[in-house]
């Protein structure tokens, strides 16, 4: 776990499996609630879900991220939670998104292209993510 450095933001990504399948309405409610809590804590991020799997990126102050990660690990909706990235960055990749949801369209598992979002995000110009998010659209994902 990186410690906070002056002017740096902690970015953490994880993947997990749902302990039960959630429908689009349940996922939407979960994200709405998370976005409100994240706004209070200065956390931004994105979530990709197909109802059975989660891939999430969260960023903010080190202590806030650690507190959220602890809560996620205790959350009975998650199983097999695996941290895939934990680093300090100079700037946020998800500024303005307290929790942005992308949902997989159809029954397929999360597309490999979507999983790469976490690796791509730091190098992308966030304005390009505005409108259609064409790369995610090709990966079978829609912005909610």
Q: How far is residue 124's CA from residue 55's CA, in Å, rounded to a whole number?
A: 18
Those residues whose C-beta lies under 8 Å from the C-beta of residue 76, and which sit 6 or more positions away, are 19
Chain-wide mean pLDDT for the chain?
Answer: 75
Q: Contact, 54 vs 72, CB < 8 A?
A: no
Those residues whose C-beta lies under 8 Å from the C-beta of residue 84, and which sit 6 or more positions away, are 13, 14, 15, 118
Q: How far is residue 22's CA from residue 80's CA, in Å, rounded to a whole number?
A: 17
**Is the pLDDT confidence value at 128 over 50?**
no
The pLDDT tens digits of the residues spanning 84-109 come to: 889 999 999 888 889 888 766 544 44
pTM of the model: 0.72
CATH topology of domain 9-143: Alpha-Beta Plaits (3.30.70)
């Amino acid at each position: 776990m990186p410690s906070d450095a002056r002017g740096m933001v902690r970015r953490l990504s994880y993947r997990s499996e749902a302990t039960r399948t959630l429908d689009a309405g349940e996922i939407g409610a979960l994200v709405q609630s998370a976005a409100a809590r994240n706004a209070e804590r200065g956390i931004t991020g994105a979530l990709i879900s197909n109802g059975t799997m989660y891939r999430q990126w969260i960023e903010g102050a080190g202590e806030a991220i650690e507190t959220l990660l602890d809560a996620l690990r205790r959350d009975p909706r998650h199983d097999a939670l695996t941290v895939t990235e934990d680093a300090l960055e100079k700037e946020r990749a998800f500024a303005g998104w307290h929790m942005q949801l992308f949902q997989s369209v159809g029954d397929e598992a999360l597309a490999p292209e979507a999983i790469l979002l976490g690796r791509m995000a730091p190098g992308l110009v966030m304005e390009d993510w505005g409108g259609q998010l064409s790369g995610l659209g090709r990966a079978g994902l829609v912005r909610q």
